[in-house]
């Protein structure tokens, strides 16, 4: 699906309008967060930020802005009881 649009003045900025058919196909809705990237050929790549699934660690920490932390797996050896993991 190819469409065209124009760069227009929008206040002190410039903006583009994205046709509704393109938005539907990309599953982009109002207030979705989008990332912009310019590649080496000066093409603008626009991608939608994925939303973590509810109940995952990514979902639980999606708004975390504190300092990063590192984790390390520790091998405790063979199970010694009725562990199920």
Query: What's residue 85's pLDDT?
Result: 62
CATH number of the domain that 19 lies in? 2.10.260.10
Within-domain flag for 72? no
Q: Are strands 8-10 and 34-38 parallel, antiparallel or unpaired?
A: unpaired
> pLDDT tens digit string along 28-76?
999 888 999 999 999 999 998 777 778 888 788 878 888 877 778 788 7
What six digits make up the tokens of 42?
A: 């000066």
> What is residue 52's predicted lDDT score, i.e. its pLDDT?
74
Closest CA to 63 of 42, 27, 18, 33: 33
Answer whether residue 55 is part of any domain. yes
Answer yes or no: are the C-beta atoms of 45 and 36 closer than 8 Å: yes
- The verdict on residue 77 lying in a domain is no
16 within a domain of the structure (yes/no)? yes
What is the domain range of residue 22?
8-60
Q: How many domains does the chain have?
A: 1
């Amino acid at each position: 699906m190819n469409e065209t649009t124009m760069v227009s003045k929008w206040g002190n900025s410039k903006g583009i309008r994205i046709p509704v058919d393109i938005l539907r196909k990309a599953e982009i809705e109002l207030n979705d967060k989008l990332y912009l990237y310019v590649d080496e050929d000066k093409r603008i790549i626009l991608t939608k930020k994925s939303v973590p699934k509810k109940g995952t660690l990514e979902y639980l920490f999606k708004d975390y802005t504190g300092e990063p932390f590192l984790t390390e797996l520790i091998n405790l050896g063979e199970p010694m009881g009725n562990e199920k993991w």
